[in-house]
Amino acid sequence: MSYPASRPRRLRRSPLLRRALAETTLAASDFVLPLFVSETATAPVPISSLPGHHQHSIQSALDECQQAIDLGIPMVLLFGIPAAKDERGTAAWADDGAVQRLTTAIKERFGDRLLVATDLCMCEYTSHGHCGILSGREVDNDATLDAYRQIAASQAGAGADIVAPSGMMDGQVGAIREVLDGGGFGEVAIMAYSAKMASAFYGPFRDAVGSVPAFGDRRAYQMDGANLDEALREVRLDIVEGADIVMVKPAGPYLDIVARVAAEVDVPVAAYQVSGEMAMIKAAAERGWLDHDAAVMESLVSIRRAGAKLLISYFAKEAVRIMQGLREA
């Protein structure tokens, strides 16, 4: 039937009708809150390019975790900023590193009330800013896997529920699964950054943790954003190697990839709305060019609609507060 008998606008007439018929909804339980913890900070240091986010001390990070719990957010994703960086990124697997200590502190304080996922990579820890061990000017894949094994053992030993390898080395998921299983950490899950693009949208994050590569770029390990088939192949490889959750990153510019991955695999899909995606909305809203809250929610609903179950987002807390406001209205 067509117009005038068919009138789609009938179902858009009131807020309640629109809410009742929304095909995609967001819940606090969909969100993962990224947190930065610094080995040297004694008080939270604001990150200017990520408004609302800080380089945290253990104490202030625990306060953030309490807020996440109060908002109903089930998971945090931890990034560390070490006191000193070196060529081999050894601070990444220091058992008394900031991520390890915070992980243990969260589990002691909050137990099962909050899931801890740890970013498993080296770019925050290496003096050159690359995601692995160098051989000349290249990142040596298999030498890097050895380092990732040590990081995985250290993070799992600290009590991580989930480790999240983000370095895009070949075989990283398999190597980590093996060391976890061999070390008595069979229950620790892997959330794999499976299709992680070499993206211009990581700029604010790299400022936040000081991980701008000292030379070159990450294109020899992160993916070319032009490639959908390759993204699917990366995802399938990670699942075969034992990934429990697969991730597409960034989210907004790659919604087609999120959608294809969600349609083709039967493990949960996560999508990472990265620092630059937040920065665009924040900066435009600051100038009065966008309605902040509306743009935040539209960006997140779109990622969910594309098929992501978990939304890793710097807006996590704000989004839940916006949703609560909407519900009260």
Footprint of ligand PBG (CB under 6 A): 119, 121, 123, 131, 166-167, 202, 205-206, 211, 218, 274-275
Cβ-contact 32, 270 below 8 angstroms: yes
| 107 flagged as catalytic | no
Distance CA 244, CA 248 (A): 14
Catalytic residue among 196, 282, 309, 317: 196
Residue placing its CB nearer to ligand PBG in the complex, 123 or 239: 123
Kindly state the smallest distance separating residue 181's Cβ from ligand PBG, in Å: 23
Residue among 110 and 170 whose Cβ is closer to ligand PBG: 170
Least distance CB 249 / ligand PBG (angstroms): 7
Question: Terminal CA-to-CA distance of the chain, rounded, Å?
Answer: 36
d(CA 18, CA 112): 36
CA dihedral 155, 160, 162, 166 (to 10 degrees): -30
Residue closer to ligand PBG by CB (options 57, 126) is: 126
Annotated active-site residue 85? The verdict is no
Measured from the CB atom, the residue of 104 and 172 that comes closer to ligand PBG is 172
Q: Which residue out of 249, 282, 309, 317 is catalytically annotated? A: 249
Report the distance separating Cα 189 and Cα 273, nearest Å: 21
Angle, nearest 10°, between helix axes 98-110 and 141-158? 30
Q: Nearest distance from residue 17's CB to ligand PBG, in Å?
A: 37
Query: E strands along the chain, which residues?
Result: 31-38, 45-46, 54-56, 75-81, 115-120, 134-135, 138-139, 162-165, 189-196, 245-249, 269-273, 310-313
Least distance from C-beta 119 to ligand PBG, angstroms? 5
Kindly list the catalytic residues.
196, 249
